[in-house]
Amino acid sequence: MKAGRKHLAALLFAATGLVQANEGARAHFQMLFPGESLRQANSGSFDLLAIFTHVFNGGPSMQMGPPKALYLLKQRGDEGKPEKVDLLKRAEKFDWIGAEKDPVAAYKVAMPQADLRSLGDYVFVLEPEPFLEATEDKYIQQFTKSVVNVGGVPGNWDKVVGLPAEIRPLTKPYANWTGGLFRGVVLSKGKPVPFAEVEVEYVNRLPDSGKRIWAGEPQIKPSHPALGPMSIRADAAGNIAVALPRAGWWGIAALDVGPTKKHKGKKLSQDAVIWVQVTDVK
C-alpha cells in the first residue's frame, strides 16, 4: 500500500509538472512597450521596448531574433494617409533580464520628442521573425500593435494596418477607465475569425528601460493558476470584449489566426497582439 501511494504521488507530481509546463509554454506575449500611451506634445523622449516574454509571471522570456519589420504609422501623412516611419534601422539589440535572471535578446528604439510632435494617434507595429518554441515543437509569430495618443486628439487608432493576423480595436487602446470594456475584431488577412481563441494577460510588473529588468514586485498574486493568463473566445463574427478591472497595461493575443500554418517544416502559429492601457478613476 505504501509503495502504491508513493507511486500515485509520483504520478500526480509528474502530472502537475506537465500542466505547469504547458501553462508556461502558453501565454507568450510579444511586448511593444512605449511606457505611456497618453502623452502631450512636450512629453519628452522615451524608449520603445520589444520584449518576448510572459508578462504576468515575468518570465520565462524568450530570445528575439532581428525583427522582420518595425515601424510607426503617423496619422498626419501626405494626402490624409498615415505616414509610415521605418524604425528597424534604429532598433538596438540589448540583453533583457526577466524573472529567470538569464539574459535574452530584446530590442529597443529611442523615440525623440520630435517624432511625436503633432497631435493625434501613433500606431507602433512589430512583425517579428518566427520563434521556435521547443516545448511545443512549433513556431510562434506574433504581429503586435501599440497605440500612443498625443494631446487627446483621436486619429487612426481604429484603422486596419493590413497584417496577416490583426486585432482591429473598436475601443481606443489608450483611453480606458478602470472597469471599462475593450472591444475589437480578430482578423486574418482582413477577414473576421469566428470563435478565435484569445488570451488576456495583465502586465504584473512594468519593464524598466534603463535597468532592463522588471520594476518592483508583482502587483497581483492570483489565488488560482486560471486567474493568471485568461482565455476567452471571439463570437461568430470575430468580435471580442475584454473587461478591464485594474489600471495598467493589458496584453490581448488572438492565437493561431494568421493564414500561414507552416514554417521550416513545423507548425506555425501566427498570432495577433494588441496592447491596452487602463487608467484609474480618481
- Domain segments of the chain as ranges: 2-278
Report which of 193, 184, 137 is spatially closest to residue 164, judged by C-alpha positions. 193
Find the angle CA(37)-CA(42)-CA(48) to the nearest 5 degrees: 40
Q: Which residues pair with 53 in a beta bridge?
A: 29
**What cell numbers appear for 100 in the block?**
529567470
| Amino acid identity for residue 48 in this structure | L
Euclidean distance between CA atoms 196 and 187, whole angstroms: 9
Question: Which residues lie closer than 8 Å to 12 by C-beta, 6 or more apart?
Answer: none
Asked if 251 and 275 touch (Cβ cutoff 8 Å), the reply is yes
Q: Which residues pair with 147 in a beta bridge?
A: 123
**What cell numbers appear for 188 in the block?**
486574418
Side-chain half-sphere of 109: how many Cα atoms within 13 Å? 25
Euclidean distance between CA atoms 224 and 102, whole angstroms: 27
Question: Which residues lie closer than 8 Å to 261 by C-beta, 6 or more apart?
Answer: 267, 268, 270
Question: Which residues lie closer than 8 Å to 35 by C-beta, 6 or more apart?
Answer: 46, 47, 209
Report which of 126, 107, 105, 108 is spatially closest to residue 63, judged by C-alpha positions. 105
Model-wide pTM > 0.85: yes
* Cβ count within 10 A of residue 101: 8
Question: Which residues lie closer than 8 Å to 5 by C-beta, 6 or more apart?
Answer: none
Q: pLDDT per position in the chain (282 positions), as tens?
A: 444 444 433 333 333 333 333 344 468 999 999 999 999 988 889 999 999 999 999 999 999 999 999 999 997 644 557 789 999 999 999 999 988 888 999 999 999 988 998 899 999 999 999 999 999 999 999 999 999 999 999 899 999 999 999 999 999 999 999 999 999 999 999 999 999 999 999 999 999 989 999 999 999 999 998 888 899 999 999 999 999 999 999 999 999 999 999 999 999 999 999 999 999 998
Separation of first and last alpha carbons in the chain: 61
Euclidean distance between CA atoms 253 and 197, whole angstroms: 8
Report which of 111, 109, 263, 253 is spatially closest to residue 193, judged by C-alpha positions. 253
Q: Which residues pair with 275 in a beta bridge?
A: 251
